[in-house]
Amino acid sequence: MEISIDLLLCDAVDFPGETYSVSVLKVGYCLPQTDGTFRADGTVTLITGPRTVLVDTGGAWDRDFLLASLRERGLEPADVELVVGTHGHSDHIGNLGLFPTAVTIVGHDVSRGDTYRPNGLAGGHAYVVDEHVIPSPGHTGQDVSVQVRGTSAGTVLVAGDLFECCSDEGSWQHLSMNTAVQEVSRQEALRTADVIIPGHGLPFRISSLERRQGGTDVMPSPLVDWCENQEPSLIQDYLT
Amino acid sequence: MEISIDLLLCDAVDFPGETYSVSVLKVGYCLPQTDGTFRADGTVTLITGPRTVLVDTGGAWDRDFLLASLRERGLEPADVELVVGTHGHSDHIGNLGLFPTAVTIVGHDVSRGDTYRPNGLAGGHAYVVDEHVIPSPGHTGQDVSVQVRGTSAGTVLVAGDLFECCSDEGSWQHLSMNTAVQEVSRQEALRTADVIIPGHGLPFRISSLERRQGGTDVMPSPLVDWCENQEPSLIQDYLT
Protein backbone atom coordinates (compact mmCIF):
# COMPACT_ATOMS: atom_id res chain seq x y z
CA MET A 1 0.00 0.00 0.00
CA GLU A 2 1.26 3.45 -0.76
CA ILE A 3 -0.14 6.92 -0.94
CA SER A 4 -0.56 8.18 -4.47
CA ILE A 5 -0.85 11.92 -4.94
CA ASP A 6 -2.79 12.94 -7.99
CA LEU A 7 -2.80 16.52 -9.21
CA LEU A 8 -5.91 17.74 -11.00
CA LEU A 9 -6.23 21.09 -12.67
CA CYS A 10 -9.06 23.11 -11.18
CA ASP A 11 -11.86 24.24 -13.46
CA ALA A 12 -12.15 27.54 -11.58
CA VAL A 13 -9.90 30.34 -10.45
CA ASP A 14 -12.18 31.52 -7.63
CA PHE A 15 -12.32 29.80 -4.28
CA PRO A 16 -15.01 31.36 -2.11
CA GLY A 17 -14.93 30.96 1.63
CA GLU A 18 -16.98 31.99 4.63
CA THR A 19 -14.16 34.06 6.06
CA TYR A 20 -11.72 34.55 3.22
CA SER A 21 -12.17 34.05 -0.49
CA VAL A 22 -9.36 33.55 -2.97
CA SER A 23 -9.49 34.77 -6.57
CA VAL A 24 -6.79 34.39 -9.16
CA LEU A 25 -6.74 37.72 -11.01
CA LYS A 26 -4.20 36.55 -13.56
CA VAL A 27 -2.93 33.07 -14.25
CA GLY A 28 0.82 33.16 -14.60
CA TYR A 29 2.52 31.59 -17.58
CA CYS A 30 5.90 30.67 -18.95
CA LEU A 31 5.99 30.06 -22.68
CA PRO A 32 9.23 29.39 -24.57
CA GLN A 33 9.40 31.26 -27.86
CA THR A 34 11.06 30.07 -31.05
CA ASP A 35 13.72 32.82 -30.84
CA GLY A 36 15.12 31.52 -27.54
CA THR A 37 13.31 34.04 -25.35
CA PHE A 38 10.33 33.14 -23.26
CA ARG A 39 7.21 35.02 -22.35
CA ALA A 40 6.46 34.86 -18.66
CA ASP A 41 4.33 36.46 -16.02
CA GLY A 42 3.61 35.56 -12.42
CA THR A 43 0.19 34.58 -11.10
CA VAL A 44 -1.62 37.44 -9.33
CA THR A 45 -4.01 36.44 -6.55
CA LEU A 46 -6.45 38.45 -4.46
CA ILE A 47 -7.59 37.33 -1.02
CA THR A 48 -10.68 39.10 0.31
CA GLY A 49 -12.30 38.89 3.73
CA PRO A 50 -11.66 40.69 7.00
CA ARG A 51 -8.51 41.98 5.31
CA THR A 52 -7.69 42.47 1.67
CA VAL A 53 -4.48 40.78 0.63
CA LEU A 54 -2.78 40.77 -2.76
CA VAL A 55 -0.29 38.00 -3.41
CA ASP A 56 2.16 38.97 -6.14
CA THR A 57 1.65 41.97 -8.39
CA GLY A 58 2.74 40.64 -11.78
CA GLY A 59 5.32 42.34 -13.95
CA ALA A 60 5.67 46.10 -14.47
CA TRP A 61 3.58 45.76 -17.64
CA ASP A 62 0.59 44.56 -15.57
CA ARG A 63 -0.08 47.94 -13.95
CA ASP A 64 -3.21 48.82 -15.93
CA PHE A 65 -4.49 45.24 -15.81
CA LEU A 66 -4.06 45.16 -12.05
CA LEU A 67 -5.80 48.49 -11.51
CA ALA A 68 -8.70 47.41 -13.74
CA SER A 69 -9.00 44.01 -12.02
CA LEU A 70 -9.19 45.62 -8.61
CA ARG A 71 -11.75 48.17 -9.78
CA GLU A 72 -13.92 45.42 -11.27
CA ARG A 73 -14.15 44.15 -7.71
CA GLY A 74 -14.88 47.58 -6.26
CA LEU A 75 -11.38 48.02 -4.90
CA GLU A 76 -8.82 50.77 -5.16
CA PRO A 77 -5.12 50.12 -4.48
CA ALA A 78 -5.47 51.87 -1.10
CA ASP A 79 -7.97 49.18 -0.06
CA VAL A 80 -5.25 46.52 -0.20
CA GLU A 81 -3.92 46.23 3.34
CA LEU A 82 -1.26 43.59 2.79
CA VAL A 83 0.80 42.99 -0.33
CA VAL A 84 2.89 39.83 -0.47
CA GLY A 85 5.61 39.36 -3.03
CA THR A 86 6.31 35.65 -2.84
CA HIS A 87 9.85 36.37 -4.02
CA GLY A 88 11.77 39.22 -5.58
CA HIS A 89 11.64 38.29 -9.25
CA SER A 90 10.50 40.93 -11.71
CA ASP A 91 7.42 39.03 -12.88
CA HIS A 92 6.06 38.95 -9.32
CA ILE A 93 6.95 42.31 -7.76
CA GLY A 94 6.54 44.71 -10.68
CA ASN A 95 3.79 46.82 -9.14
CA LEU A 96 4.62 47.26 -5.48
CA GLY A 97 4.62 51.00 -6.16
CA LEU A 98 0.81 50.96 -6.46
CA PHE A 99 0.56 50.14 -2.77
CA PRO A 100 2.81 52.58 -0.90
CA THR A 101 0.80 52.47 2.33
CA ALA A 102 0.14 48.71 2.55
CA VAL A 103 2.03 46.39 4.82
CA THR A 104 4.39 44.73 2.38
CA ILE A 105 6.07 41.37 2.60
CA VAL A 106 8.65 40.55 -0.03
CA GLY A 107 10.49 37.37 0.74
CA HIS A 108 11.50 37.64 4.37
CA ASP A 109 11.12 41.40 4.73
CA VAL A 110 8.02 42.89 6.36
CA SER A 111 7.61 46.65 6.00
CA ARG A 112 5.20 49.53 5.97
CA GLY A 113 6.61 52.56 4.25
CA ASP A 114 10.30 52.60 5.05
CA THR A 115 9.81 50.97 8.45
CA TYR A 116 10.90 47.35 8.49
CA ARG A 117 9.56 45.11 11.24
CA PRO A 118 11.45 42.28 12.89
CA ASN A 119 9.86 38.94 12.01
CA GLY A 120 10.62 35.26 12.12
CA LEU A 121 10.26 34.35 8.44
CA ALA A 122 13.99 33.84 7.92
CA GLY A 123 13.99 31.53 10.94
CA GLY A 124 11.18 29.40 9.53
CA HIS A 125 8.32 31.01 11.45
CA ALA A 126 5.07 32.09 9.82
CA TYR A 127 3.91 35.70 9.79
CA VAL A 128 0.32 35.27 10.90
CA VAL A 129 -2.23 37.74 9.56
CA ASP A 130 -4.93 35.76 11.31
CA GLU A 131 -5.75 32.10 11.67
CA HIS A 132 -6.83 31.95 8.05
CA VAL A 133 -4.04 33.81 6.27
CA ILE A 134 -0.48 32.80 6.98
CA PRO A 135 2.51 33.83 4.90
CA SER A 136 5.00 31.04 5.39
CA PRO A 137 8.65 30.60 4.49
CA GLY A 138 10.72 27.71 3.33
CA HIS A 139 11.11 27.68 -0.39
CA THR A 140 13.91 28.58 -2.75
CA GLY A 141 15.85 31.12 -0.74
CA GLN A 142 13.81 33.93 0.68
CA ASP A 143 10.43 32.92 -0.69
CA VAL A 144 7.11 32.88 1.08
CA SER A 145 3.74 31.41 0.24
CA VAL A 146 0.35 32.30 1.65
CA GLN A 147 -1.90 29.66 3.14
CA VAL A 148 -5.64 30.41 3.23
CA ARG A 149 -7.68 28.03 5.36
CA GLY A 150 -11.38 27.43 5.30
CA THR A 151 -12.35 28.06 1.70
CA SER A 152 -14.99 25.95 0.00
CA ALA A 153 -12.12 24.04 -1.60
CA GLY A 154 -10.35 23.57 1.72
CA THR A 155 -6.90 24.99 2.35
CA VAL A 156 -5.57 26.98 -0.59
CA LEU A 157 -1.84 27.64 -0.84
CA VAL A 158 -0.82 30.61 -2.96
CA ALA A 159 2.59 29.20 -3.61
CA GLY A 160 4.51 31.55 -5.88
CA ASP A 161 7.21 29.64 -7.70
CA LEU A 162 7.39 26.84 -5.16
CA PHE A 163 5.38 25.22 -7.94
CA GLU A 164 5.79 26.49 -11.50
CA CYS A 165 2.59 24.80 -12.60
CA CYS A 166 0.64 21.61 -12.10
CA SER A 167 2.96 19.55 -14.24
CA ASP A 168 6.36 20.98 -13.39
CA GLU A 169 8.03 17.78 -12.27
CA GLY A 170 11.36 17.69 -14.06
CA SER A 171 11.35 21.41 -14.85
CA TRP A 172 11.13 23.29 -11.53
CA GLN A 173 14.60 22.12 -10.59
CA HIS A 174 16.20 24.20 -13.36
CA LEU A 175 14.81 27.37 -11.78
CA SER A 176 15.57 26.49 -8.17
CA MET A 177 18.35 28.01 -6.11
CA ASN A 178 18.24 25.05 -3.74
CA THR A 179 16.46 21.96 -5.00
CA ALA A 180 16.83 20.04 -1.72
CA VAL A 181 15.18 22.77 0.33
CA GLN A 182 12.52 23.37 -2.28
CA GLU A 183 11.70 19.67 -2.51
CA VAL A 184 11.05 19.57 1.24
CA SER A 185 8.79 22.62 0.96
CA ARG A 186 6.94 21.12 -2.00
CA GLN A 187 6.27 17.90 -0.13
CA GLU A 188 5.00 19.87 2.87
CA ALA A 189 2.72 21.86 0.57
CA LEU A 190 1.35 18.70 -1.04
CA ARG A 191 0.74 17.27 2.43
CA THR A 192 -1.07 20.28 3.88
CA ALA A 193 -2.92 22.02 1.02
CA ASP A 194 -6.01 20.97 -0.87
CA VAL A 195 -5.47 23.43 -3.72
CA ILE A 196 -2.21 24.96 -4.87
CA ILE A 197 -2.05 28.17 -6.88
CA PRO A 198 1.32 27.99 -8.66
CA GLY A 199 3.40 30.88 -9.98
CA HIS A 200 3.08 30.07 -13.67
CA GLY A 201 0.01 27.98 -14.28
CA LEU A 202 -3.54 27.17 -13.34
CA PRO A 203 -4.56 26.20 -9.81
CA PHE A 204 -4.57 22.50 -9.17
CA ARG A 205 -6.18 20.23 -6.65
CA ILE A 206 -4.31 17.63 -4.64
CA SER A 207 -5.94 14.27 -4.27
CA SER A 208 -4.27 11.74 -2.02
CA LEU A 209 -5.32 8.21 -2.72
CA GLU A 210 -4.28 5.02 -1.06
CA ARG A 211 -3.27 2.71 -3.86
CA ARG A 212 -2.35 -0.95 -3.59
CA GLN A 213 1.03 -1.47 -5.17
CA GLY A 214 1.53 -4.76 -6.97
CA GLY A 215 5.18 -4.32 -7.80
CA THR A 216 7.99 -1.84 -7.96
CA ASP A 217 6.50 0.00 -10.93
CA VAL A 218 3.85 2.56 -10.09
CA MET A 219 1.60 3.68 -12.87
CA PRO A 220 2.01 7.39 -13.56
CA SER A 221 -1.05 9.42 -12.86
CA PRO A 222 -3.21 9.91 -15.96
CA LEU A 223 -4.23 13.24 -14.49
CA VAL A 224 -0.67 14.48 -14.53
CA ASP A 225 -0.45 13.42 -18.14
CA TRP A 226 -3.66 15.30 -18.79
CA CYS A 227 -2.19 18.40 -17.16
CA GLU A 228 0.84 18.21 -19.37
CA ASN A 229 -1.27 18.00 -22.45
CA GLN A 230 -3.86 20.58 -21.54
CA GLU A 231 -2.18 23.32 -19.63
CA PRO A 232 -0.41 25.36 -22.31
CA SER A 233 -3.57 25.92 -24.29
CA LEU A 234 -5.53 26.69 -21.17
CA ILE A 235 -2.91 29.18 -20.11
CA GLN A 236 -3.01 30.79 -23.54
CA ASP A 237 -6.70 31.51 -22.98
CA TYR A 238 -5.72 33.59 -19.97
CA LEU A 239 -3.11 35.69 -21.72
CA THR A 240 -4.19 39.28 -21.78
CA MET B 1 55.17 45.89 2.69
CA GLU B 2 51.45 45.41 2.28
CA ILE B 3 48.67 47.14 0.44
CA SER B 4 46.39 49.11 2.70
CA ILE B 5 42.96 49.95 1.38
CA ASP B 6 41.47 53.09 2.82
CA LEU B 7 37.84 54.01 2.31
CA LEU B 8 36.98 57.69 2.23
CA LEU B 9 33.46 59.05 2.07
CA CYS B 10 32.95 61.17 -1.04
CA ASP B 11 31.89 64.76 -0.60
CA ALA B 12 29.67 64.57 -3.68
CA VAL B 13 26.94 62.36 -5.04
CA ASP B 14 27.48 63.33 -8.68
CA PHE B 15 30.23 61.85 -10.80
CA PRO B 16 30.31 63.51 -14.22
CA GLY B 17 31.96 61.78 -17.12
CA GLU B 18 32.62 62.46 -20.78
CA THR B 19 30.49 59.52 -21.89
CA TYR B 20 28.40 58.60 -18.88
CA SER B 21 27.69 60.54 -15.72
CA VAL B 22 26.51 59.01 -12.47
CA SER B 23 24.20 60.80 -10.03
CA VAL B 24 22.91 59.44 -6.77
CA LEU B 25 19.27 60.53 -6.63
CA LYS B 26 18.74 59.23 -3.12
CA VAL B 27 21.29 58.02 -0.61
CA GLY B 28 20.06 54.80 0.95
CA TYR B 29 19.99 54.40 4.68
CA CYS B 30 19.41 51.83 7.38
CA LEU B 31 18.63 53.27 10.80
CA PRO B 32 17.70 51.10 13.78
CA GLN B 33 14.84 52.56 15.79
CA THR B 34 14.35 52.31 19.54
CA ASP B 35 11.24 50.12 19.12
CA GLY B 36 13.16 47.33 17.39
CA THR B 37 12.13 48.28 13.86
CA PHE B 38 14.48 49.96 11.46
CA ARG B 39 13.97 52.57 8.82
CA ALA B 40 15.59 51.64 5.54
CA ASP B 41 15.66 52.60 1.92
CA GLY B 42 17.92 51.61 -0.94
CA THR B 43 20.17 54.02 -2.81
CA VAL B 44 18.72 55.20 -6.14
CA THR B 45 21.24 56.04 -8.87
CA LEU B 46 20.82 57.56 -12.31
CA ILE B 47 23.33 57.00 -15.10
CA THR B 48 23.04 59.38 -18.05
CA GLY B 49 24.84 59.35 -21.37
CA PRO B 50 24.19 57.57 -24.65
CA ARG B 51 21.60 55.58 -22.70
CA THR B 52 19.68 56.47 -19.58
CA VAL B 53 19.96 53.85 -16.87
CA LEU B 54 18.33 53.77 -13.46
CA VAL B 55 19.91 51.52 -10.86
CA ASP B 56 17.42 50.60 -8.14
CA THR B 57 14.09 52.32 -7.74
CA GLY B 58 13.81 52.66 -3.96
CA GLY B 59 10.83 51.45 -1.99
CA ALA B 60 7.18 51.75 -3.03
CA TRP B 61 6.94 54.95 -0.96
CA ASP B 62 9.56 56.61 -3.22
CA ARG B 63 7.27 56.90 -6.25
CA ASP B 64 6.64 60.64 -6.07
CA PHE B 65 10.23 61.34 -5.08
CA LEU B 66 11.49 59.35 -8.03
CA LEU B 67 9.17 61.04 -10.52
CA ALA B 68 10.15 64.48 -9.19
CA SER B 69 13.87 63.65 -9.29
CA LEU B 70 13.67 62.53 -12.89
CA ARG B 71 11.67 65.61 -13.89
CA GLU B 72 14.21 67.91 -12.23
CA ARG B 73 16.64 66.45 -14.73
CA GLY B 74 14.26 66.84 -17.66
CA LEU B 75 13.39 63.16 -17.76
CA GLU B 76 10.15 61.26 -17.84
CA PRO B 77 9.97 57.58 -16.85
CA ALA B 78 9.67 56.62 -20.53
CA ASP B 79 13.13 58.15 -21.12
CA VAL B 80 14.72 55.49 -18.91
CA GLU B 81 15.86 52.76 -21.28
CA LEU B 82 17.32 50.33 -18.76
CA VAL B 83 16.22 49.75 -15.18
CA VAL B 84 18.44 47.60 -13.01
CA GLY B 85 17.23 46.20 -9.71
CA THR B 86 20.44 45.10 -8.03
CA HIS B 87 18.41 42.51 -6.15
CA GLY B 88 14.81 41.77 -5.40
CA HIS B 89 14.39 43.35 -1.97
CA SER B 90 11.48 45.70 -1.44
CA ASP B 91 13.61 48.77 -0.72
CA HIS B 92 15.28 48.44 -4.13
CA ILE B 93 12.56 47.34 -6.55
CA GLY B 94 9.51 49.22 -5.29
CA ASN B 95 8.89 51.24 -8.44
CA LEU B 96 9.54 48.97 -11.39
CA GLY B 97 5.95 49.66 -12.43
CA LEU B 98 6.92 53.20 -13.49
CA PHE B 99 9.01 51.74 -16.32
CA PRO B 100 6.85 49.18 -18.12
CA THR B 101 8.63 49.61 -21.47
CA ALA B 102 12.26 49.71 -20.27
CA VAL B 103 14.62 46.79 -20.52
CA THR B 104 14.61 45.54 -16.95
CA ILE B 105 17.25 43.59 -15.11
CA VAL B 106 16.38 42.31 -11.67
CA GLY B 107 18.99 40.00 -10.31
CA HIS B 108 19.75 37.56 -13.11
CA ASP B 109 16.59 38.15 -15.15
CA VAL B 110 16.66 40.40 -18.22
CA SER B 111 13.27 41.30 -19.68
CA ARG B 112 11.33 43.79 -21.71
CA GLY B 113 7.63 43.59 -21.10
CA ASP B 114 6.87 39.93 -20.50
CA THR B 115 9.66 38.74 -22.80
CA TYR B 116 12.63 37.37 -20.92
CA ARG B 117 15.94 37.15 -22.72
CA PRO B 118 18.54 34.44 -22.21
CA ASN B 119 21.67 35.92 -20.61
CA GLY B 120 24.81 34.81 -18.87
CA LEU B 121 24.44 36.60 -15.53
CA ALA B 122 23.71 33.42 -13.60
CA GLY B 123 26.83 31.89 -15.13
CA GLY B 124 29.02 34.78 -14.00
CA HIS B 125 29.01 36.71 -17.29
CA ALA B 126 28.37 40.43 -17.51
CA TYR B 127 25.43 41.87 -19.43
CA VAL B 128 27.18 44.56 -21.42
CA VAL B 129 25.20 47.70 -22.25
CA ASP B 130 28.31 49.18 -23.81
CA GLU B 131 31.96 49.37 -22.82
CA HIS B 132 31.11 51.86 -20.11
CA VAL B 133 28.07 50.32 -18.45
CA ILE B 134 28.27 46.70 -17.36
CA PRO B 135 25.81 45.02 -15.02
CA SER B 136 27.80 42.27 -13.37
CA PRO B 137 26.86 39.34 -11.17
CA GLY B 138 28.51 37.69 -8.26
CA HIS B 139 27.15 38.90 -5.00
CA THR B 140 24.78 37.48 -2.44
CA GLY B 141 22.63 35.16 -4.53
CA GLN B 142 21.19 36.67 -7.66
CA ASP B 143 22.52 40.19 -7.25
CA VAL B 144 24.07 42.42 -9.85
CA SER B 145 26.00 45.65 -9.67
CA VAL B 146 26.62 48.20 -12.42
CA GLN B 147 30.13 49.30 -13.30
CA VAL B 148 30.49 52.70 -15.01
CA ARG B 149 33.92 53.37 -16.46
CA GLY B 150 35.45 56.67 -17.42
CA THR B 151 33.88 59.13 -15.04
CA SER B 152 35.89 62.02 -13.63
CA ALA B 153 36.27 59.92 -10.49
CA GLY B 154 37.38 56.86 -12.45
CA THR B 155 35.39 53.64 -12.39
CA VAL B 156 32.22 53.90 -10.33
CA LEU B 157 30.53 50.73 -9.10
CA VAL B 158 26.84 51.03 -8.25
CA ALA B 159 26.97 48.10 -5.91
CA GLY B 160 23.54 47.59 -4.38
CA ASP B 161 23.90 45.75 -1.10
CA LEU B 162 27.24 44.22 -1.96
CA PHE B 163 28.29 47.02 0.37
CA GLU B 164 25.78 48.30 2.92
CA CYS B 165 27.78 51.48 3.46
CA CYS B 166 31.34 52.69 3.74
CA SER B 167 31.84 51.30 7.22
CA ASP B 168 29.93 48.03 7.06
CA GLU B 169 32.74 45.70 8.08
CA GLY B 170 31.28 43.49 10.77
CA SER B 171 27.67 44.21 9.83
CA TRP B 172 27.21 43.18 6.17
CA GLN B 173 27.64 39.55 7.09
CA HIS B 174 24.38 39.51 9.06
CA LEU B 175 22.46 40.41 5.91
CA SER B 176 24.30 38.09 3.54
CA MET B 177 22.92 34.87 2.13
CA ASN B 178 26.43 33.65 1.37
CA THR B 179 29.24 35.47 3.13
CA ALA B 180 32.02 33.55 1.36
CA VAL B 181 30.73 34.44 -2.11
CA GLN B 182 29.99 38.00 -1.10
CA GLU B 183 33.45 38.46 0.40
CA VAL B 184 35.03 37.44 -2.91
CA SER B 185 32.81 39.89 -4.77
CA ARG B 186 33.61 42.66 -2.30
CA GLN B 187 37.33 42.14 -2.72
CA GLU B 188 36.95 42.20 -6.50
CA ALA B 189 34.99 45.44 -6.22
CA LEU B 190 37.62 47.03 -3.99
CA ARG B 191 40.29 45.96 -6.50
CA THR B 192 38.57 47.28 -9.63
CA ALA B 193 36.51 50.33 -8.62
CA ASP B 194 37.62 53.82 -7.67
CA VAL B 195 34.29 54.79 -6.15
CA ILE B 196 31.63 52.51 -4.72
CA ILE B 197 28.00 53.57 -4.36
CA PRO B 198 26.63 51.28 -1.64
CA GLY B 199 23.04 50.27 -1.04
CA HIS B 200 22.56 52.05 2.26
CA GLY B 201 25.05 54.85 2.62
CA LEU B 202 27.06 57.56 0.94
CA PRO B 203 29.43 56.87 -1.95
CA PHE B 204 32.97 56.22 -0.90
CA ARG B 205 36.33 56.35 -2.60
CA ILE B 206 38.85 53.54 -2.49
CA SER B 207 42.43 54.49 -1.92
CA SER B 208 45.05 51.76 -2.13
CA LEU B 209 48.26 52.64 -0.36
CA GLU B 210 51.41 50.66 0.01
CA ARG B 211 52.23 50.66 3.68
CA ARG B 212 55.33 49.29 5.37
CA GLN B 213 54.32 46.81 8.01
CA GLY B 214 56.45 46.77 11.16
CA GLY B 215 54.85 43.78 12.81
CA THR B 216 51.80 41.57 12.79
CA ASP B 217 49.53 44.34 13.96
CA VAL B 218 48.32 46.69 11.26
CA MET B 219 46.97 50.00 12.34
CA PRO B 220 43.30 50.35 11.44
CA SER B 221 42.56 53.03 8.94
CA PRO B 222 41.70 56.34 10.61
CA LEU B 223 39.47 57.03 7.63
CA VAL B 224 37.34 54.00 8.33
CA ASP B 225 37.02 55.20 11.92
CA TRP B 226 36.02 58.58 10.58
CA CYS B 227 33.37 56.96 8.38
CA GLU B 228 31.92 55.12 11.32
CA ASN B 229 31.64 58.31 13.32
CA GLN B 230 30.32 60.55 10.58
CA GLU B 231 28.08 58.55 8.37
CA PRO B 232 24.83 58.30 10.37
CA SER B 233 24.53 62.05 10.72
CA LEU B 234 25.44 62.58 7.09
CA ILE B 235 22.83 60.05 6.03
CA GLN B 236 20.25 61.76 8.19
CA ASP B 237 20.79 64.90 6.15
CA TYR B 238 19.69 63.01 3.08
CA LEU B 239 16.50 61.63 4.56
CA THR B 240 13.51 63.00 2.73
Per-residue pLDDT tens over the stretch B25-76: 999 999 999 999 999 999 999 999 999 999 999 999 999 999 999 999 999 9
Distance in angstroms (rounded) separating the CA atoms of residues A223 and A209:
13
* Residue with the larger pLDDT of the pair B70 and A224: B70
pLDDT of amino acid A237: 38
Whether B87 has its CB under 8 Å from any CB of chain A: the answer is yes
The pLDDT assigned to B177 comes to 79
- Nearest CB to B115; choose among A39, A98, A106: A39
> Which of B41, B89, B114 has its CB closest to that of A88?
B89
CA distance B16 to B1: 35
A142 touching B (Cβ < 8 Å): yes
Answer yes or no: do B90 and A111 touch at CB < 8 A.
yes
Mean per-residue pLDDT, B214-237: 37
Sequence-distant (6+) residues with CB within 8 A of B236 are B29, B31
Answer whether B106 sits within 8 Å of A90, measured CB to CB: yes
Cβ contact B87:B107 at 8 Å: yes
Q: Which of these ranges, A131-145, B93-107, B160-174, B187-201, has the smallest mean pLDDT?
A: A131-145
Residue A231 is which amino acid? E
| Predicted pLDDT of residue B139 | 56
Give me the torsion for CA of A107, A113, A115, A118, rounded to 10°.
-30
Q: Do A60 and B100 touch (CB under 8 A)?
A: yes
With contacts defined as CB-CB under 8 Å, which chain B residues touch A38?
115-116
The pTM for the full model equals: 0.86
- pLDDT, one tens digit per residue, over A83-136 is 999 999 999 999 999 999 999 999 889 999 999 999 988 888 888 888 788 877
Contact B97 A94 (CB under 8 A): yes
Distance between CA atoms of residues B88 and A92, nearest Å: 10
Q: What is the pLDDT of residue B2?
A: 63
**Is A106 close to B97, i.e. CB distance below 8 A?**
no
Residues in A 4-33 with any Cβ partner in B closer than 8 A: 33
Q: Which residue has the higher pLDDT, B56 or B184?
A: B56
Give contacts of B111 with chain A, Cβ < 8 Å.
Answer: 40, 59, 90-91
Is the pLDDT assigned to residue B234 strictly greater than 80?
Answer: no
Q: What is the pLDDT of residues A182-204, one digit of tens each?
A: 888 899 899 999 999 999 999 99
| B36–A118 C-beta distance less than 8 A | yes
CB-CB under 8 Å, B104 with A90:
yes
Whole-number Å distance between alpha carbons of B179 and B172: 9
Query: Is the complex ipTM more than 0.90?
Result: no
The beta-carbon neighbor of B114 closest among A39, A109, A116 is: A39
Q: Rounded to 10 degrees, what is the CA torsion of A163, A168, A169, A171?
A: -100
Q: Do B90 and A98 touch (CB under 8 A)?
A: no
Of A36, A61, A96, the CB nearest to B114: A61
Nearest residue in A to B60, CA atom: A97
Mean of all residue pLDDT scores within chain B: 85
- Say if residue B88 is exposed, middle or buried (CB neighbours under 10 Å; 0-12, 13-18, 19+): buried
Q: Could A41 and B114 be called an inter-chain contact, meaning their C-beta atoms sit closer than 8 Å?
A: yes
For residue A142, is pLDDT > 60?
yes
In chain B, the residue whose alpha carbon lies closest to the alpha carbon of A106 is B90
For chain A, the average pLDDT equals: 85
CA-angle at A41, arms to A194 and A63, nearest 5°: 110
Cα distance from A53 to chain B (closest Cα, Å)? 16
Residue B53 phi, psi (nearest 5): -125, 130
B52 Cβ under 8 Å from any chain A Cβ: no
Minimum CA–CA partner of B66 in chain A: A97
**To the nearest whole angstrom, how far is the Cα of B180 from the nearest Cα of chain A?**
16
Q: Do A89 and B97 touch (CB under 8 A)?
A: no
- B58: DSSP letter: -
